Structure 1
């Protein structure tokens, strides 16, 4: 495996983290600020610097490259696989009436299955229901095929997200990157580090990812009471106080970030499903807790590995970044300490993380987690 990493800001030259060299048919991952990905001159610069066929673009809420977290930049990680192969497929949710489950079923069907080991998902993140997308992808997926990835971001603006494969970045795209070959070793893990507080309540009215009532009370009204003065800063303030949701019949809770609010009907739109009768509790975090969570995720990902990873794909939540603020790179330092100081890190801050629970094969949409995909040949 050969890897080149570089980044640039608007009107600056490319900064390389490794010696620049020509690669053979690499997978090129481009994560960047949405405003930059909308500029034709930026896209032209990326294509000129990396004149390869298989380019995947995704907008982010922060770019992770090498050991840095950048804002207002584009980061590029080009990976040449020497013993294994990859295949990329795409669909647009706007062509499926925004039905993410239907898109997931169609998209997974397009992916060749022979020797398929792992799928990395890069999804539109502003209006797709991530839980429904996962349900569609897993509808006909065999257990040995693992799944990780994330929902694209747009900093804390929540206006729109962009993604694409080969084409210029656009809205609505969902991309699957399939990794093939017996020589591949891919391990993954996801962990948060947030803690619950306040009483545990029950969701009494919801529809998909829209939460209407908790304990028979309007959800937004109850949430605002907990936030107090911070309720004036909604929906951004909700990134610091997500919900811990345990659906009926599930032993493991999932964290749900509030993406938007509706003052008219007092509802909240979350990043994934919040089924009726689920138990729900507020959450909060500290900088130290989040850093410790990143370390735990790395320990889980390394636990059963036979070989050292050659690259770490990272999807971390925008809520973690907001809490960490100027100390955000500490969670990357915790990861490198466990996976290896020389292992390149590549990824982005997201609106949702896609991964199974640790020790499980069934995938979930997570929020507020550090999700790792470690790859070697």
Structure 2
């Protein structure tokens, strides 16, 4: 595996930070960046000049992870040439298939299944129901094929997210990257570090990822009551107080972040499904808890690996970044201390993370977690 990494800050050209050169043969080029920079059509032209034979995947973020650094308002680039394995990229837009479950099924069925080891998703993040998208993949996925990824971000603005494959970034795109090869080893895991508090309440009215009522009361009114003065800062302040959602008593609780609120209908739209009958609690965290959670996620991803990872794609939640503020890089540094300093690290802060729970096969949508996908040939 040959890897070249570069960063771009503002209008400056890309600066190579690792890798002797960018003369790679048909590399996978992962580009994660600030939404405003991705809106500039010249960005894709610049990347295409650097890697004319590259398969270029772009995604907007709430912060870019590269090596042990978290960029603010920049662009990170990681170009990977696989020497023993190969990959395939598929894409769909929500305007083509206005049903996330069917979109997921359709995308998965476009891949050849022979020697397919893993699919990594870079998805629209501002309006899509991420759990329904995953459910579409899970409905047709074969058990020995892994699935992970993330929903694109837009800092804490929640205005629009962008993604693309081999074209200028645009809204509504879902990009799926399939990885093939006998020698390819890919593992993924996630962990949060958030603690529930306050009374447990029951979802009495919801529709997919729209939450209407808790215990028969308007959910948004109740949530604002708990937030107090911070309610004026919604939806951004909701990132500091996500919801723990437990569908069944024996299931692991899922964390759900609020994407948008509607004062007129008194509803909240979350990043994934919130089914009626599920029990919910508010959650909170500290910087130290989040850093410890990142370490646990890395340990889970390393468990049972036969080879040291050569590449790590990290997807962490924008809510974690808001809590950590100036200490954000600490969770990335903690991950590197576990997976090793020889591993090339890339990734982004997201509106939702995709990975299985530890020891489980099925992929789930998470919020407020650190998610890792580790690769080696």
Q: Given the two structures, how large is their TM-score scaled by the length of structure 1? A: 0.98
Match runs of 1:227-238 below 5 Å? 227-238=227-238
Q: Distance in 1 between matches of 2:376 and 2:248?
A: 38
Check conservation: 1:17, 1:66, Cα contact below 8 A.
no
Distance 1:45 1:96 in 2: 31
Residue correspondence of structure 1 range 42-61 to structure 2 within 5 A: 42-61=43-62
Q: What is aligned with 2:300?
A: 300
Task: Assess if the C-alpha contact under 8 Å between 2:22 and 2:50 holds in 1.
Answer: no
Matches within 5 A, 1:241-320: 241-248=241-248, 250-320=250-320
1:14 is aligned to 14
Distance 1:150 1:250, change over 3 A: farther
Unaligned runs of 5+ in 1: none
What residue number does 1:33 align with? 34
Q: TM-score, normalised by structure 2?
A: 0.98
Contact kept, 8 Å, 2:32 with 2:60, in 1: the verdict is yes
Alpha-carbon distance in structure 1 between the residues aligned to 2:219 and 2:303: 40
Q: CA RMSD in A?
A: 1.0
CA contact (8 A) 1:67 1:344 kept: no
- Post-superposition shift, 1:259? 0.4
State the Cα distance separating 1:128 from its structure 2 match. 0.6
Give the superposition deviation at 1:234.
0.5
Deviation digits for residues 313-333 of structure 1 (CA, Å, limit 9, x no counterpart):
111000001111111000001
Q: Secondary structure at the match of 1:23?
A: coil
- Where 1:157 maps in the other structure, the secondary structure is coil
Task: List, as ranges, runs of 4+ consecutive aligned residues in structure 1 with deviation greater than 3 Å.
Answer: none
Secondary structure of 1:96's aligned partner: coil
Structure 2 SS opposite 1:277: coil
Q: Report Cα offsets for 1:31-53 as digits up to 9, x if no partner.
A: 11111011122222222222233
Q: Separation in 2 of the partners of 1:300 and 1:109?
A: 29
Q: Distance in 1 between matches of 2:318 and 2:157?
A: 11
Residue 128 of structure 2: aligned partner:
128
1:103 and 1:250, CA in 2 relative to 1: closer, same or farther beyond 3 A?
A: farther
Offset at residue 140 of structure 1 (A): 1.0
C-alpha contact (below 8 Å) 1:10/1:42 kept by paired residues: no
- 1:184 corresponding residue in structure 2: 184
Distance 2:137 2:174 in 1: 11
Q: Where does residue 67 of structure 1 map in the other structure? A: 68
